[in-house]
Copies of this chain bind each other. A is one copy, B any other.
């Protein structure tokens, strides 16, 4: 079998997320598997580095799939892009070792969360930002962001109630950059739990609005207390930016 690693950009606005839901649902995974079936003539499974929720975007989602024939990467990228709609774009394809698996081999990920802090949302980025017109205390948000950095049990920031595996993750850094009216929060870590980035962002926004203090946030993290997090930041501001192997 020939194993291909693929880097994908998508505007998640009109999708029910990455992961296939049986044969229904407008998902990114299904879009790819339908095209690969058309190409190969047999069922091909595509493995993403992780699921993205409905409405979440990707600038560099990584996935892999196996084919029985050795298609050239140029032929493959052209074929797939031809059949993809204009809100999904294959940026690159490369042949990789047969053992490579996009989810299992991922060592680091970067997510970006964009907040539009202008009075009215910027018309050009309105589908890719969360609009928060209230004044945000950015210094307080930066202090709160430091709480996340390091190895912690992020159980409070996980919405998978049936999670049987460890909820310990390492966050390498959380940077907050201001660019005119936009606030860009950049998260890097060895992995992220279900809803983790959106819950972390929601808490940072609450700190910025003085609805939550840094010590409360510390307490929630230490006590793994999901119930005290009231703000799941909307999907549309979130972008899976890059995945490392």
* A residues apposed to B, CB below 8 Å: 9-11, 57, 59, 77-78, 81, 84, 86-90, 118-124, 126, 128
Q: Which of A57, A121, A122, A123 has the most CB of B within 10 A?
A: A123
What are 11 contact pairs spanning A and B, CB under 8 A?
Answer: A57-B124, A77-B119, A86-B123, A86-B126, A87-B126, A88-B123, A89-B118, A89-B121, A89-B122, A89-B123, A90-B120
* A118 CB contacts on chain B under 8 angstroms: 89
- B120 to A11, Cβ gap below 8 A? no
Q: Which of A57, A86, A88, A120 has the most CB of B within 10 A?
A: A120
Q: What is the CB-to-nearest-CB distance from A133 to chain B, in angstroms, rounded to a whole number?
A: 10
Closest 6 CB pairs of A and B: A11-B123, A81-B120, A89-B120, A87-B123, A89-B123, A9-B123
Copies of this protein in the assembly total 2
* A123 CB contacts on chain B under 8 angstroms: 9-11, 86-89
A59 to B57, CA, bound (A): 24
Across the two chains, which residue of chain B brings its CB closest to A12?
A: B123
A88 to B123, CA, bound (A): 6
* A88 CB contacts on chain B under 8 angstroms: 123
Q: What is the CB-to-nearest-CB distance from A145 to chain B, in angstroms, rounded to a whole number?
A: 25
